[in-house]
Amino acid sequence: MPSDPFTPGVVAGRLSADEIAENFQDLHPPLNDHEAHVAADRCYFCFDAPCATACPTTIDIPLFIRQIATGTPEAAARTIFSQNILGGMCARVCPTETLCEEVCVREVAEGKPVIIGQLQRYATDRLMAAGTHPFSRASDTGKTVAVVGAGPAGLAAAHRLAMLGHAVTIFDARPKGGGLNEYGIAAYKATGGFAGAELDWLLGIGGITVEYGKKLGAELALSDLEDRFDAVFLGIGLAGVNALALEGSGPEVVNAVDWIAEMRQSKDKTDIAVGRDVVVIGGGMTAVDAAIQSRLLGAGNVTMAYRRDRAAMAASVMEQNLAASKGVRIVCNAAPKALVASGVLFARTETRDGQLVDTGETFEIAADQVMLAIGQSLAGQPDLALKGRKIAVDEHGRTSRPGVWAGGDCASGGDDLTVTAVAEGRDAAMDIDAALSA
Amino acid sequence: MADLTSTFVGIKSPNPFWLASAPPTDKEYNVRRAYEAGWGGVVWKTLGEAGPPIVNVNGPRYGAIHGADRRLLGLNNIELITDRPLDVNLREIKSVKRDYPDRALVVSLMVPCEEEPWKAILPLVEETGADGVELNFGCPHGMAERGMGSAVGQVPEYIEMVTRWVKQYTRMPVIVKLTPNITDIRQPAAAAMRGGADAVSLINTINSITSVNLDLFAPEPTIDGAGAHGGYCGPAVKPIALNMVAEIKRNAETADLPVSGIGGVTTWRDAAEFIALGAGNVQVCTAAMTYGFDVVKEMISGLSQWMDEGGHESVASVVGRAVPNCKDWQDLNLNYVTKAVIDQEACIKCGRCYAACEDTSHQAIFNEIDGVRGFKVNEAECVACNLCVDICPVEGCITMRELALGEVDERTGKKVEPYANWQTHPNNPAARAAE
């Protein structure tokens, strides 16, 4: 008998392939021409625009929106890509509600921002659909750069370096490139194999070779890369998963990032097992993504449990509301204590004098599957100075080792956002170029 | 990548976008920033003769027409020529031109309609190293009351006379800026040409009252309870300007006279349209005053993209391309028959096309399809007026289908025949008379 949302345990195929496909459709369907023109018309072309300042990659947002308004979305796309070569993915996954759109003067004045993210997607989709690459390479400099990690930071660095005429080799531990774009982003935010298509399109600049299945600390040694290349950029992300030791037994426990990565690679997701009662532990974007996608796969009851209060959640209000709209229950001030036969035992918490403390009360939430989404950490780091738990870098992305730069989630400084990773990769590339040209 | 460089009456600029003589070009500070933003050239705000500076009103100088959402559609002003001392302007012009040799810098001039003041000011401008002069025969307010600006531009004999003086006393290229407040733009253009002008620029602003304050019963902008007519500009005036440019380019006498197109240029497309009608470059003011100097970046990228897509290698290669297609009504093909078609998939059933056609046109749209609300063209009544296309809120929903040669027009019951115009039409008494 096929399973359904009421089937107990952790099982695959709670919904049909068609139902799953329907559930995982584009979160924001693309704008058509008319919608884009109406949306673009709302932009005031502000002076020293707050939106552009809020963008980690400093895209000239008023200009690209005006280029859409005047019927040249391709020119708009060039404006975007000149600052952010992953502008297509960022248009889909950026938390615009806490970046450009939050400070849009129309958000401040009316509570209705210009829909910058969707307009960016309109423009970038148009240019990418043409199948052409908008930039060309400078003449060959004869310099070589190794980029470790084919995620947003590594790709942004590689593209900029290739554009400047350097020969780039990207190494990635996984069998596919894209990093979190390919393995981590919620499926409904980048439908249609967008991450892979964007990678292929980006490589259209030329001058970049990619070697998969090469992991730093395993197949690759940093000292070896330093010998073979004129410069090294590390964009290795946070490959480690923070552990949470819970006593007891009962529900199955998985790491949310691993579960999402497996789901992202599944063809129609009917083979992805999910609980009837799922508890996701964490308060960030990964927790939201795991919780929502559990529901979309047919989990009956999904609870996101976060140990602090709602205001402290890393997931934006928009993400929280999205989770709620998909039927995810968010429980705050719930610190996991132990696994029990029917689920998870939580201690109720509160904040006293800035300290999170248990109140002494406990309660249980039913679960047959528990997903841990309590953060990732640097794994297999080479011999480099750290700042906190990340690779220490200066404002140019330089690490403690001369000739080695780092950016993205693995490096200190900046939020763990795709767009921040792109900015850091791009800026490190400019510094590498300056160093190699000196 | 298309070549956007422009050479207009021998004056080179990296693109054909110049700032028109107006407040944005009134001083060195602005002009430097304009060049940094990417403008190819500027026409410095009009200089008057030496002496006590010009005085402006100290109340509002501008009035505006807005669309929904406060989009500025038309702007009216009662500002006069520069109110800064002549020597200060000249010193600044020299300084800017020295630092931006690749950009066009033309100086607008307006002095009394006598030979001496023109003779006096020209060497001073020449000394700055400016690329040329533009004679302001266009401003319709204030200065016109003193016998300058449009007061000169409305009398072809004066235009010719002053232009001749200026050509006599300077080596610089001379552009004559025309007022649209006349009945036939070809007359002042021809007069400028006879006087030796290297080019004309048009249009200057149009006499206007933008609105009336209904509490004060006074025109806006209101100065202490009263208002004077101003000069109207901005997107609203573009169609008038386009026609005037076309009139000059279609006229055999003035067809070869270079034109600098002015009037509501806001986007790359506006500029391309002026250029297609024969303008060698364009001048912009209101768009910069509304959005700031950075607006030129869109004009540059858009024109460049359009030229690339169309395979147009240079600006010069598209100048005047639409002029041969600008005709008189009597030359239009009366046997060209089209019928409106409503795309039922795209139609949102608002019924605006029906109201327009039923109430004000030809009763050529049905308001029911198979007994339910829906809108469909009745080809037996449709005269192809295009009103439904223009008022439909859904772009591309209503289109015009061209009837093929030999196809029967249901309205007339006649087959579509080859080209024929009014000049040979049987109903035309003049046509009969010619036989």
Q: Taking CB atoms and an 8 Å cutoff, what residues of chain A touch B293?
A: none
Three-state secondary-structure class, residue A142: coil
When scoring A34, A66, A78, A106 by the number of chain B Cβ atoms within 10 A, the one with the most, hence best to mutate, is A66
Neighbour count for residue B329 (Cβ, 10 Å)? 7
Distance CA B383, CA B206 (A): 34
When scoring B289, B301, B307 by the number of chain A Cβ atoms within 10 A, the one with the most, hence best to mutate, is B301
A359 contacts chain B (CB < 8 A)? no
- B301/A79 touch (CB, cutoff 8 Å), yes or no: yes
pLDDT category at B432 given cuts 50, 70, 90 is: low
Dump the DSSP string for B199-237. Answer: EEEE--PEEE--EEETTTTEEESPBTTB---EEEESGGG
Which token pair is A408?
């993205």
B274: which residues sit within 8 A by CB, 6+ positions away? B241, B242, B245, B261, B263, B265, B282
Closest-CA distance, A194 to chain B, in angstroms, reads 26
B295 contacts chain A (CB < 8 A)? yes
Percent of chain A at pLDDT above 70? Answer: 100
Distance CA A286, CA A277 (A): 18
Distance CA A289, CA B5 (A): 52
CA–CA distance from B433 to each of B335, B420, B428 (Å)?
A: 22, 17, 9
Percent of chain A at pLDDT above 90? Answer: 95
Q: Taking CB atoms and an 8 Å cutoff, what residues of chain A touch B69?
A: 41-42
Q: Taking CB atoms and an 8 Å cutoff, what residues of chain A touch B302?
A: 67, 70-72, 75
Q: Could you tell me which of A128, A260, A279, A127 has the C-alpha nearest to residue A188?
A: A260
Query: Average pLDDT, stretch A94-117?
Result: 96
Residues 134-173 of A with CB under 8 A from B: none
What is the pLDDT at residue A115? 98
CB A155 within 8 A of CB A196: no
What is the pLDDT at residue B45? 98
Question: pLDDT digits over B202-219, tens only?
Answer: 999 999 999 999 999 999
Query: Average pLDDT, stretch A345-362?
Result: 95
Question: pLDDT digits over B20-30, tens only?
Answer: 999 999 999 99
CB B233 within 8 A of CB B270: no
B139 is catalytic: yes
Question: pLDDT digits over A176-218, tens only?
Answer: 999 999 999 999 999 999 999 999 999 999 999 999 999 999 9
- A66/B298 touch (CB, cutoff 8 Å), yes or no: yes
Q: Taking CB atoms and an 8 Å cutoff, what residues of chain B touch A77?
A: none
Three-state secondary-structure class, residue B103: coil
- B69/A79 touch (CB, cutoff 8 Å), yes or no: no
Which backbone phi and psi does B169 adopt, to 5 degrees?
-105, 5
Question: pLDDT digits over A374-401, tens only?
Answer: 999 998 767 899 999 999 999 999 999 9
- B301/A45 touch (CB, cutoff 8 Å), yes or no: no
- On the 0-12 / 13-18 / 19+ scale of CB atoms within 10 A, A271 is exposed
Note the helical H segments in B221-294.
238-250, 268-276, 286-291
B394 contacts chain A (CB < 8 A)? yes
Q: Taking CB atoms and an 8 Å cutoff, what residues of chain B touch A75?
A: 298, 301-302, 304-305
Q: Domain coordinates of chain A in residue numbers?
A: 17-24+241-376, 33-129, 144-239+379-437
A71 contacts chain B (CB < 8 A)? yes
- A34/B395 touch (CB, cutoff 8 Å), yes or no: yes
Three-state secondary-structure class, residue A113: coil
| Domain A17-24+241-376 shares a fold with domain A33-129 | no
- On the 0-12 / 13-18 / 19+ scale of CB atoms within 10 A, A395 is exposed
Note the helical H segments in B38-148.
86-99, 115-127
- A70/B269 touch (CB, cutoff 8 Å), yes or no: yes
- B298/A33 touch (CB, cutoff 8 Å), yes or no: no
Q: Taking CB atoms and an 8 Å cutoff, what residues of chain A touch B291?
A: 45, 66
Neighbour count for residue A145 (Cβ, 10 Å)? 27
Distance CA A417, CA A152 (A): 9
What is the pLDDT at residue A245? 87
- On the 0-12 / 13-18 / 19+ scale of CB atoms within 10 A, A22 is exposed
Closest-CA distance, B82 to chain A, in angstroms, reads 26
- A34/B294 touch (CB, cutoff 8 Å), yes or no: no
Question: pLDDT digits over B46-85, tens only?
Answer: 999 999 999 999 999 999 999 988 999 999 999 999 999 9
Question: pLDDT digits over B300-324, tens only?
Answer: 999 999 999 999 999 999 999 999 9
Neighbour count for residue A168 (Cβ, 10 Å)? 29
| Between B271 and B139, the higher pLDDT residue | B271
Query: Average pLDDT, stretch A145-165?
Result: 98
| B6-325 CATH choice from 3.40.640.10, 3.30.160.20, 3.40.50.2300, 3.20.20.70 | 3.20.20.70
B433 pLDDT above the threshold of 60: no
- A70/B394 touch (CB, cutoff 8 Å), yes or no: no
User: The domain at A144-239+379-437 falls in which architecture?
Assistant: 3-Layer(bba) Sandwich (3.50)
A110 contacts chain B (CB < 8 A)? no
Quote the mean pLDDT of chain B: 96
- B301/A71 touch (CB, cutoff 8 Å), yes or no: no
Class for the domain spanning B329-434: alpha beta
Catalytic residue among B113, B139, B357, B397: B139
Q: Which residue of A has its CA nearest to B287?
A: A45
A63 contacts chain B (CB < 8 A)? yes
Domain A17-24+241-376 listed as CATH 3.50.50.60? yes
What is the pLDDT at residue A65? 98
What is the pLDDT at residue B71? 93
Which token pair is B283?
């001048």
A325: which residues sit within 8 A by CB, 6+ positions away? none
Residues 75-114 of B with CB under 8 A from A: none
What is the pLDDT at residue A131? 86
B73 contacts chain A (CB < 8 A)? no
pLDDT category at A1 given cuts 50, 70, 90 is: low
A321 pLDDT above the threshold of 80: yes
B326 pLDDT above the threshold of 80: yes
Q: Taking CB atoms and an 8 Å cutoff, what residues of chain A touch B295?
A: 45, 66
Residues 32-61 of A with CB under 8 A from B: 33-34, 41-42, 45, 47, 60
Q: Domain coordinates of chain B in residue numbers?
A: 6-325, 329-434
What is the pLDDT at residue A382? 76
Residues 279-338 of A with CB under 8 A from B: none
Distance CA B94, CA B89 (A): 9
B71 contacts chain A (CB < 8 A)? yes
What is the pLDDT at residue B431? 82
CATH fold for domain A33-129: Fumarate Reductase Iron-sulfur Protein; Chain B, domain 2 (1.10.1060)
B255 contacts chain A (CB < 8 A)? no
The owner of tokens 């009336």 is B212
Question: pLDDT digits over B370-403, tens only?
Answer: 999 999 999 999 999 999 999 999 999 999 999 9
Distance CA A294, CA A23 (A): 11
A12 pLDDT above the threshold of 70: yes
